[in-house]
Amino acid sequence: MSKHRLMRELKNIGLLLSLWGVFVSASTTLRAQSNSQQVVRAPPTILERDKLFLFPEKNIIIGGECSAQFTFRFDNLRSLEGRDARCINFFASKNSVVRMFANGYSVYSLDTDVLKYERLDDQRLRAFNNGTFLSDEKSFIGFGWSSSDVWRVDLEGIRSIKKLGSHKKDYRVTKVVVSESSNIGYSIANRSSSSEVIVWDFDSGRKLATYEADAAGISSDGNLIAIARRSIPDDSYSERDVWIRQSRDGKVVATTKTPSHPTKEMKFLSNSEVGMFHYIEASQKYDFVAWDFRAQSSRTLLHVDYGFFDGPFEVDVARRKLLSLQSNGVHRFDLETGLPDSDNPSAPSLKATASAASPNGSAFAMVGKNLVALINRETNSVARTIALAKPVENLISVAFADEGKLILGDNSGVVYALDLHSETISHVYGKAPEFSFSEGPGVSNISVSHDRRLIAFAIEDKAVVLNIANGEVVRTLKIAKTYGSDKHRIAFVDADQRLIVAAQNFQLFDLRNGTQLINEEVSVAGGARYITRNDFTKESIVGFYSPVASAVYVYRDGKIIRRVGGIKARVNAHAGRASAAVAIDAETTVVGYDRQIRTSGADFGSISDPIATHSADIVSFHRNDQGRLISISADGEIRVTNAANGSTLVSTRIYADGSWVALTPEGFFSGSPEAIRRLLVRISASEVVPLDRFYQALYRPDLVREKLAGDPNGKVKAAAALLDLNKVMASGVPPKVAITSPNDASAASSDQITVSATVADQGGGLGRVEWRVNGVTVGTGGRGFERVDGSGVAVSVPTAKIQAVSQTLALGAGDNVIEVLAYNSTNLIASDAAKITVTLAADARTTPPNLYVVAVGVNDYYDSRLRLSYAVPDAIALAEGFRKSGSGLYGSVDVTTVLDKDVTVANLDRVFGEISKKVQPRDVFVFFLAGHGKTKNGRYYFLPRDFRYEDESSIEKTGLDQDRFQAWFAKVPALKSILLYDTCESGSLTGNTRGSDLDERLGALNRMARATGRTFLTATTDDAPALEGFRGHGVFTYALLDALERGDVNGNGIIEVSELADYIDAKVPDYSFEAFKLRQIPQRSIVGNNFALTNKAAILASAGSAAAASIPTKATHVVIKPSEVKAAVGDTSETVSQLAPGTQVRLIETANGWTLVAREGRKLGYVREGSLIGLQ
């Protein structure tokens, strides 16, 4: 493993934070490493420049800028201190960090941030501002300040500082590299288009050799150096001469020519192989080539698009990974396969600059650059994001005017109002700068009056008070001007009659007449950091800080009642240094001390040890009445902490594209798919996998919500006892999958293709294998493995380390992306998907595709407590509705109904087996399911007709679960499909009438959609609405049938999937509220592209008679005395049968004292009205 320092000049500090993205307490076992994403185009130009060091062997990342440097350990998730306002540069090794000053340095332990060495006020140290450690870390090599000199600094003993030598005059040293196990290394210096490499023995300070070269690399033992130089000196695109030389004597070991220039430094992959990037002009790609200089052979390990590797890179030799640092994070490639470790483009974290809580406390807003994120407090999830267009570019402050309006301030001094309902923005105050990159004084803080009538903000030397309703200026107040980076803090106090403005001064104004009441210079030689109100003592607390001193002022009722700290004070008010603060009781204030959450007592002089740590500086705090502390950091992390004990409940990370992921310490998570793929988990000493590989095991939005509520029902604790992140990781590393045939980018001659792959056990065993075409799961299973021995002969041994699998797949016209993935033996952790693209020529057939509909419904459950009324009629109506609306759009409409006694595992196996023989990839498949469903432990179960309830385990034992449905749907090769679930969750099974958690049902739905790769629409009801129905149907089915006539929004005569989903989403809550005074909320998970589903057709009108003829089987009344059943109303009508007391019937209608009844779905006739009593 190379120890070479990897100095990275990333261009946006917020982008680095996507590398770890793990937001849990230090006790959790979640591990993160570099982000392993694929970006296929060059990243955009970023203006900011920062530095990054990676140490893969120690799982440490260091980055940021010198005055705000962060350090993060992946092995224990601990953020380490590291900031100094005097610092002008820094560099690191795997054990130490050096912070360079104008004429000195400080060396800190990387693990503990304890000062190890320090030297200040030495004029010789002005000669350089950068460095690289020698192998023992007791000395470093200094360079920089655009100088050609190379220096050595000894940290121990006599602590000498001496110049070793220089490059040519006017050359600038840009890099020094030292070998891993010796102090042989090289420096490289540039001038215009020329470069020079000097090989050094840094122990003796001798120059060993000097070369004109464009790129270089050194072996881990320092014995060999790789040198590359242009064959034609003035032609930057000419081929290169590459030498491998002995470092000490310059003897040539090997030489070769490359087709173009190697980029950056070259990397020794072994003692006989060097890796380097070549730019291939013909293809405009970079090839990373491994040159075996002893065997004189080369091989290309991976290809990437032009511009991608303009950033620096590192090779993790032990794990055969290449890591590249780009403007949007670290990308990791597997050098064995040449493929990225993940297929999801990475994105920067939201660089949060401010936040504000809504008036009712149900939400809060975060802002960063031109993005506004609205956060749901109950779930710590992103409700929505709003990206604002120019001229809004750099938001730095936010406040809620009311529940529907935000006030925003930017760094050019302009104030805007954002209507959250219409998402329209209006100008409130100030003038935008002429040029977008211009930066004015900025609106760093906005305060809203308690009655929500006024807003106040400060710009330069004035404070402005505006009327929210009409935007008129109420007061303009002259205030003390700020200097440097200091900003004003502002707050309404004393029933909105006075205004505090704090910067270097503490000022108080009477808003009734504009009089300045207090103007006191604060003796800290710095600015205000925060103003917070202690609701328990009715005091306002103001923190001031500079590198010299800090202070806290306490204000109440027109007076400064306490001053703590300051330059002249004997006690320094450490709480004043905080970037944010919030009182949690009368005596305790929580403060954001850089990245750390600490507490301060009433004296403000001392602060506690950290109770939690963010990965970036804390921007703001919020507190709620349930004792929850919400802290927000500059890298887009929202952490919810139990204020009483400091334990983390949930942490959420927001990215700049609006994606988010929320995580509990137990490892349960929720979030958007993009963000879940960005978070990495260390599952062994050498393996990290994206969090989404745990999706089926730990994706539990319901448990995230429960955790935020304090786990009042013990659901999180119970679930974690069964399965948590520790148990999942202990289940073993997932296998590696490689597709062996056909080749990627190949063409298929038939719409049927056999795909072969190998599945290699990595220690966690082999479990389920999934096959997908264009995201749709079309094959599952783990049987039929064969071991492949060294000769390539298949051997039938089920415990083989490498096993062969194959599957015949149906293809659609055009590009078919084929994916194969496998789970470990417990089916808890999925592998990365092996992926190829196979193209099938466009279909020459002019006939339209076919529509296949399978409609399943159960009314007549074996257990009479479960009997329903509308499942069977709805399945029939839905099937006939699609038959009618599909006519003319499809070549044929094939409808299969499976009802009541036929809804068994065996019969559904048969149905799916038959339909799989008919469906083609180009066809459309619709599946409808009505009956009883149950969500248990985050997984969905459907109860078949013969289900018998014995205890809670009955559901899991005999219910139809996700794996069963996944296997059935995998038999259907249609690449366009929609699955419609209209099931009710019954509380009658256990006598527990508490409604199931909507988040649990949604989580189960999302897992089903992910497992099948198909679109789901569902609406789960409780018992009563399912029994009573709506206009002769279940509410969900009624809305479905209605949508086939009324859902054509674009007016093209076709009902598309998106239109159907939107119509159901809008109508089901309205219909259910109309009928039952409760809102049934449908859920959807849309997968893949939108497509035409049916023609527009009036179904409900034509289905009226059929619906009327279909009588629900559920009994509503019981016969209480012997009764004659008449054929028609009246005593003179014919008696057709007799009903004994106790007979259960269904009431259809009542007229003239007679009641029409039915039994088991069949009309019986009329009985006298007094013969019945309703069932309870």
Count of domains in the chain? 6
Mean pLDDT of successive 10-residue segments in the chain (1176 residues)? Answer: 28 27 25 25 25 58 55 41 60 82 81 77 83 90 88 89 92 91 92 89 94 90 90 58 92 84 75 85 77 91 66 71 58 73 56 89 88 88 87 87 93 91 90 54 89 93 92 93 78 96 95 95 86 94 88 95 86 85 91 88 86 83 85 87 86 85 92 80 68 91 90 92 91 92 92 93 92 92 46 41 91 92 93 91 78 94 84 92 94 95 94 94 95 86 88 86 92 94 60 50 81 86 56 88 92 93 90 79 83 92 46 79 87 83 83 82 83 80
863 lies in the same domain as 917 = yes
Domain co-membership, 873 together with 808: no
- Among 814, 840, 866, the domain boundary falls at 840
Query: Contact, 301 vs 290, CB < 8 A?
Result: yes
- 752-760 β-sheet, strand order: 736-741, 752-760, 802-810, 786-788, 794-795
Sheet of strand 769-773: strand arrangement: 746-748, 834-840, 814-822, 769-773, 776-781
CATH number of the domain to which 955 belongs:
3.40.50.1460
Give the CATH number of the domain where residue 43 resides.
2.130.10.10
Q: Does one domain contain both 827 and 807?
A: yes
Sequence-ordered list of residues with C-beta below 8 angstroms from that of 793, at least 6 positions apart, any chain: none
Q: What is the pLDDT of residue 1107?
A: 40
In a domain, 507, yes or no: no
Q: pTM of the entire structure?
A: 0.72
Tokens in use for 49? 């420049």
pLDDT of residue 482: 80
Quote the CA–CA distance of 1038 and 1030 in Å, as a whole number.
7
d(CA 15, CA 849): 46
Residue 145 and residue 35 share a domain: yes
> Does residue 447 fall inside a structural domain?
no
The answer to whether residue 1048 sits within a structural domain is: yes
- Examine the domain organization and report whether 726 and 740 are in the same domain: no
Give the tokens for residue 605.
């002089």
Q: Same structural domain for residues 114 and 53?
A: yes
Least Cα distance to 703 among 1049, 1000, 1138 occurs for 1000
Residues facing residue 505 across a β-bridge? 521
Closest CA to 970 of 1003, 935, 927: 927
Q: 1130 and 1105 share a domain? A: no
Asked if residues 807 and 770 have their Cβ atoms less than 8 Å apart, the reply is no
Burial class (CB in 10 A: 0-12, 13-18, 19+), 241: middle
Task: Determine the Cα–Cα distance for residues 774 and 273; give it in Å rounded to an integer.
Answer: 39
Beta bridge partners of 9: none
Which pLDDT score is estimated for 49? 30
As to burial, measured by CB atoms within 10 angstroms (0-12 exposed, 13-18 middle, 19+ buried), residue 1074 is: exposed
Q: State the CB neighbour count (10 A cutoff) for residue 857.
A: 29
Same domain, 49 and 163: yes
Q: Are residues 717 and 779 in the same domain?
A: no
Q: What is the Cα–Cα distance from 1068 to 1055, expressed in whole angstroms?
A: 17
Gap between the Cα atoms of 611 and 606, Å rounded: 15
Which residues contact residue 72 at a Cβ distance below 8 angstroms, ignoring those fewer than 6 apart? 20, 60, 61, 62, 78, 79, 80, 615
CA-wise closest residue to 1096 among 1048, 1032, 1042, 1162 = 1048
Within 10 angstroms of residue 45's Cβ, the number of other Cβ atoms is 7
Rounded CA separation 373/1087 (Å): 25
So what's the pLDDT on residue 62?
63
Report how far residue 1068's alpha carbon sits from residue 1059's, in angstroms, rounded to the nearest whole number.
14
User: How much is the pLDDT for 1025?
Assistant: 52
Asked whether residue 905 is assigned to any structural domain, the reply reads yes
Residue 788 pairs with which residues in a beta bridge?
Answer: 794
Phi, psi of 1133 (to 5 degrees): -70, 160
Looking at the domain assignment, is residue 493 inside a domain?
A: no
742 and 612 in a common domain: no
Which stretches does DSSP call E strand in 782-912?
786-788, 794-795, 802-810, 814-822, 834-840, 851-857, 893-899
Q: Which of 204, 57, 24 is nearest to 650 (CA)?
A: 24
Same-domain pairing of 1088 and 981: yes
Q: Is residue 279 part of a domain?
A: yes
Assess if residue 475 is contained within a domain.
no
Q: Which domain holds residue 690?
A: 658-730
The pLDDT score that the predictor gives to residue 408 is 94
Instruction: Give the per-residue SS3 of 129-184.
Output: CEEEECCCCCEEEEECCCCCEEEEEECCCCCCEEEEEECCCCCEEEEEEECCCCCE
Residue at which a domain ends, from 642, 677, 705:
642
The amino acid at 113: D
The first and second tokens of residue 761, run together, are 């056990």
Asked whether residue 398 is assigned to any structural domain, the reply reads no
Burial class (CB in 10 A: 0-12, 13-18, 19+), 892: middle
What pLDDT does residue 995 have?
A: 36
- For residue 1137, the tally of other CB atoms under 10 A from its CB is 13
Report the C-alpha gap between 748 and 839 in whole angstroms: 6
**Structure tokens given for 702:** 């319901």
**Same domain? 668 vs 746:** no
